[in-house]
Amino acid sequence: MDVGKQIEITCRGQELRPYLTLQHVRDNIWAPTTLTLLPPDSSSSSSTTDHVMVLHYSRSTTP
């Protein structure tokens, strides 16, 4: 990668800062209410897409 180029990572439209942990992203950005609203036994019947965290990578537009 060229010097001075940055990579941006976003989840659900929110930019992820380099110091955020994956646990923080999961609990506060990816599924802040979904995990708490599901009954304990519903996880086996839910769609697998409910458990896939999509992260988008792009080059930063700032120098």
The predicted pLDDT at position 49 comes to: 54
Would you place residue 52 in the very low, low, confident or very high pLDDT band (cuts 50, 70, 90)?
confident
How many Å separate Cα 19 from the centre of its chain? Answer: 13
Whole-structure pTM value? 0.57
Q: Pick from 22, 17, 54, 31: which is nearest to 6 by CA?
A: 17
Tell me what the mean pLDDT of segment 23-47 comes to: 67
Tell me what the mean pLDDT of segment 50-63 comes to: 79
Name the residue with higher pLDDT: 42 or 9: 9
The predicted pLDDT at position 11 comes to: 92
